[in-house]
Amino acid sequence: MTKKWITLEKLAPVGADVQKQLRWTGIALAASALWSLRGLLRIVRSMKILKAYIDQGVFSSVDAYPRYVSSAFFGFALLSLVLAGLAVWNYASFRRGARADYLMRRLPDRWEYHRRCLTVPLLGIAASVLAALTLYVLYRAVYWRLFREAAAGVEDPMRLISLSVQAGQRGIWR
């Protein structure tokens, strides 16, 4: 019984450098994760300031969690858009020159054409979404743990979270 191994070259257009596409996707994922760290740094700084204010007996408030990470995950969204463009580029690569798209549509396996064009971009988009969700949950856990530590001993700690910042009020992170 022979086993069929699917190589990376069978999951991309003929002549495309799959290793290069995967390498750049990995670099972009790492850059997006590093960019998202600014949300975590904002959380840590804000909670340290909140703890210092509470220790001094000064009432202060912090923003709700979504405000800290509102722009932290734009790198993952941008990467997903670029990978969608890669899928379009893969489809366009079959239309150059001898128009191999006609041949690809006549193959016995009718999904071969789409598999070669969409596999690498969809894997990259899935990795981007998974990384963004993992970091979102991790940062949220850090936010609540640091908040509980900072607000220890406060009678009603939930009133320390400002859900909306009105014109005359300022939270500690501005």
Helix or strand run (H / E) with residue 145? helix 112-150
Closest by CA to 69, choosing from 101, 103, 32, 98, is 32
- 81 or 64, which is more confident? 81
Please check the confidence at residue 4 and state whether its pLDDT lies above 90.
no
pLDDT at position 108:
77
**Is the pTM here over 0.95, yes or no?**
no
**Amino acid symbol at 114:** H
Q: Which two tokens stand for residue 139?
A: 């940062």
pLDDT at position 173:
45
Phi, psi dihedral angles at 6 (to 5 degrees): -90, 120
Q: Each residue of 84-129: pLDDT tens digit?
A: 999 898 888 877 766 666 666 677 777 777 787 888 899 999 999 9
Phi, psi dihedral angles at 62 (to 5 degrees): -120, 160
Q: Each residue of 129-150: pLDDT tens digit?
A: 999 999 999 999 999 999 989 8
- 42 or 62, which is more confident? 42
Query: What is the residue-wise DSSP string for 51-79?
Result: HHHHHHT----EE-HHHHSTTTTHHHHHH
